[in-house]
Amino acid sequence: MQLEGERRIGLGTLGLADALIKLHLRYGSDEAIPVVDKIYKTIRDAAYDESVNIAKEKGAFPKIDKKKHLKGFFIKQLPKEVKEKMAKYGIRNSMLLQAAPTGTTSLLSGASSGVEPVYEFEYFHSGRLGKQLVYHNLYGEWKKIHPSDARPDYFVAANDLTPEDHVKMQATVQKYVDASISKTVNAPNSHSVEDVKKLYMMAYDAGCKGITYMRDGSRVGVLSRVDDTTKTEEKPVTTVVGPDVPKAPRPLMMEGVTYMAETPVGKTYITINHDENKEPFEVFITIGKSGSDVAAMADALGRMISLNLRLSGGLAARERIRQVVAQLTGIGGARSVGFGENRVRSLPDAVAKVLARHYSFRVNGIVEDSKPQINVANGNGHTNGNGLNGHGVKVEVKDKESASENIVVMQQLPIKEAITADLKQGTETHLFDICPECGSGSLAYEEGCRKCYACGHSEC
């Protein structure tokens, strides 16, 4: 009844950045703003005029109150002739320009999405046929004609823009949209709290209803900038051992326990094997993306933990596990699964939770001896010249089961094609994350949403 009574509609935007490229206008520039302004004003006026014409023929939307509707801040900005017709006939739709997300549609059509700039113009795509350099459609066409020329400034990627450029573009579009729009503001790592405050106030003063803020380096992705200066150093836990440290041989058969954990990179199986004295001996970490980069990293993590356990001398095996848990606990990635105590921030965090549960460690900033308490997650200035601002407003505890009761036979996992996305080596790189669907390192954050350039996966 609500939908029928108001009849809100909207198609969203597709290809704005591409249109500016074809016009040789740099996204966010002073030359581009008037063009974008004219485009969206034309769309607004045409949409509202046609909806009034349909209302004349079929009637206005049921919940309309003409007097109140005509007093709305957005409606007051419409052309005089449209408002005069609206006062007489009403309007068929209460809202006409709702910004539907176009992330998946843009991937299918090969166009830029929403009001966002192009995320990146060239990157490497790795698959069964090898590594291949992939270009953005328009940039690829230009590159064929100008193979040796430097890239023109109108080919500007998201991370090459200033945060203010992003806000100016969003505010220009928002002025002609009757609903809120979503746009990602990419900011440099050097952005301070005061810079963020100024940016949000700029967006508010300009009439934006909200922004999605992404600071470079705030989320660790598969790829990061080459000039990244945010690396932190941690003091390693040192163990005094002899000059030659033998590795304990592995028996032919071992007892073990396998845990299943839902992680941000997919369902993960973590196997802990013990020696005859029930001491931890090795750890296997398996993800259902065989052959992918994420599976390789999981395997490598398991191998390093196992090697640590099998080297003789120094700390006892359980103490080594305690140190592993201390190092892995709380490591965060771009996304997480679960809530509260069951929240898993990354694959390493999941491994730490499983090990802590199995060996009755409590994880709460530090690792202590206790019964396990962490369960693995299963599974607008404020005026615009008329005294109004841009918005039209005046100024569970579970005991560990015995190993013999909890043995799980590992099943062979389905094999998926390894699809990875890298960026051109030797140049500045931009942030991508691992796609939870295909395991590719090509998950980009756009339109307030994450989408994969390799398989089309979208989290919206």
Task: List, as one string, the DSSP characters of 317-360.
Answer: HHHHHHHHHHHHTT---S--BS-GGG-B-SHHHHHHHHHHHHTT
- For the CA atoms of 70, 72, 74, 79, what is the dihedral angle to 10 degrees? 20
- Whether residues 264 and 145 fall in one domain: no
pTM of the model: 0.54
Q: Which of 147-156, 416-425, 443-452 has the lowest mean pLDDT?
A: 416-425
Q: Which of 2-16, 366-380, 423-437 has the lowest mean pLDDT?
A: 366-380
- Which residue do the tokens 């090509």 mark? 442
pLDDT tier, 245 (very low <50, low <70, confident <90, very high otherwise): low
pLDDT tier, 224 (very low <50, low <70, confident <90, very high otherwise): very low
Q: State the burial class of residue 120 (Cβ atoms within 10 Å of its Cβ: 0-12, 13-18, 19+).
A: buried
Q: Which of 97-101, 184-188, 198-202, 419-423 has the lowest mean pLDDT?
A: 419-423
User: Residue 225: inside a domain, yes or no?
Assistant: no
Q: Dihedral sign, CA of 137, 138, 142, 148?
A: negative
CATH of the domain at 13: 3.20.70.20
Query: Residue 244's pLDDT is what?
Result: 53
Q: Which of 316, 349, 369 is the last residue of a domain?
A: 369
User: Residue 436: inside a domain, yes or no?
Assistant: no
User: Residue 60: inside a domain, yes or no?
Assistant: yes
Tokens representing residue 264 in the block? 């941000």
193 pLDDT above the threshold of 50: yes
**Cβ(134)–Cβ(95) below 8 Å:** no
Residue count of the chain: 460
316 pLDDT above the threshold of 70: yes
Looking at residues 72-96, what average pLDDT do you find?
94
Question: What is the Cα–Cα distance from 144 to 389, expressed in whole angstroms?
Answer: 47
**Cβ(138)–Cβ(21) below 8 Å:** yes
- Which residue do the tokens 């005026």 mark? 383
Q: State the burial class of residue 206 (Cβ atoms within 10 Å of its Cβ: 0-12, 13-18, 19+).
A: buried
Beta bridge partners of 368: 362
**Cβ(388)–Cβ(188) below 8 Å:** no
Three-state secondary-structure class, residue 172: helix
Q: Which own/partner contact pairs does 337-346 have at CB distance under 8 Å and 24+ positions apart?
A: 337/262, 337/263, 337/264, 337/377, 338/262, 338/377, 341/373, 341/374, 341/375, 342/374, 342/375, 342/376, 342/377, 343/377, 344/261, 344/262, 344/263, 344/264, 344/376, 344/377, 345/264, 346/263, 346/264, 346/265
User: Residue 34: inside a domain, yes or no?
Assistant: yes
- Whether residues 210 and 270 fall in one domain: no
Share of the chain above pLDDT 90, in %: 40
Averaged pLDDT of the chain: 78
- Whether residues 201 and 272 fall in one domain: no
Q: Which of 278-282, 374-378, 427-431 has the lowest mean pLDDT?
A: 374-378
- Whether residues 181 and 112 fall in one domain: yes
DSSP code at position 179: S
Q: Give the range with max mean pLDDT: 93-107, 129-143, 269-283.
A: 269-283
**Cβ(25)–Cβ(56) below 8 Å:** no
- What are phi and psi for residue 262, nearest 5 degrees? -80, 125
- Whether residues 280 and 365 fall in one domain: yes
pLDDT tier, 303 (very low <50, low <70, confident <90, very high otherwise): very high
Which H or E run contains 110? none
User: Residue 424: inside a domain, yes or no?
Assistant: no
Q: Which residue, among 427, 388, 376, has the nearest Cα to 160 in the 3D structure?
A: 427
- State the amino acid at position 134 in one-letter form: V
Looking at residues 217-244, what average pLDDT do you find?
46
Question: What is the Cα–Cα distance from 30 to 16, expressed in whole angstroms?
Answer: 16
- Which residue do the tokens 């500045």 mark? 428
User: Residue 100: inside a domain, yes or no?
Assistant: yes
Question: What is the Cα–Cα distance from 164 to 162, expressed in whole angstroms?
Answer: 5
More confident residue, 232 or 133: 133
**Cβ(345)–Cβ(354) below 8 Å:** no
Q: Which residue, among 245, 289, 259, 315, has the nearest Cα to 437 in the 3D structure?
A: 289
Beta strands of 189-277 (E only): which ranges? 212-215, 255-263, 266-274
- Whether residues 271 and 336 fall in one domain: yes
- Whether residues 153 and 271 fall in one domain: no
Q: Which of 218, 240, 264 is the last residue of a domain?
A: 218
Number of folded domains that form the chain:
2
Three-state secondary-structure class, residue 85: helix
- Whether residues 17 and 120 fall in one domain: yes
- Whether residues 283 and 205 fall in one domain: no
User: What residues contact residue 142 under an 8 Å CB cut-off, 6+ apart?
Assistant: 152, 155
Q: State the burial class of residue 326 (Cβ atoms within 10 Å of its Cβ: 0-12, 13-18, 19+).
A: middle
User: Burial code of 89-112, b = ≥16 C-beta within 10 A, e = fewer?
Assistant: bbbbbbbbbbbebbbbbbbeeebb
Phi-psi region of 155 (alpha: psi -120 to 50; beta: other; left: phi over 0): beta
Q: Which of 160, 195, 218 is the last residue of a domain?
A: 218
Q: Which residue, among 165, 409, 434, 424, has the nearest Cα to 289 in the 3D structure?
A: 434
Question: What is the Cα–Cα distance from 309 to 202, expressed in whole angstroms?
Answer: 55
Query: Residue 306's pLDDT is what?
Result: 92
Q: Which of 30-39, 186-195, 330-339, 357-366 has the lowest mean pLDDT?
A: 357-366
More confident residue, 301 or 336: 301
pLDDT tier, 138 (very low <50, low <70, confident <90, very high otherwise): very high
Looking at residues 364-374, what average pLDDT do you find?
41
418 pLDDT above the threshold of 90: no
Looking at residues 268-280, what average pLDDT do you find?
90
Range of the domain at 153: 2-218
- Whether residues 55 and 125 fall in one domain: yes
Beta bridge partners of 271: 258, 284
- Whether residues 44 and 154 fall in one domain: yes
User: Residue 233: inside a domain, yes or no?
Assistant: no
- Whether residues 35 and 110 fall in one domain: yes
Q: Which of 39-53, 154-168, 210-224 has the lowest mean pLDDT?
A: 210-224
> Taking CA 36 as the corner, what is the angle to CA 389 and CA 87, rounded to the nearest 5 degrees?
60
User: Residue 93: inside a domain, yes or no?
Assistant: yes
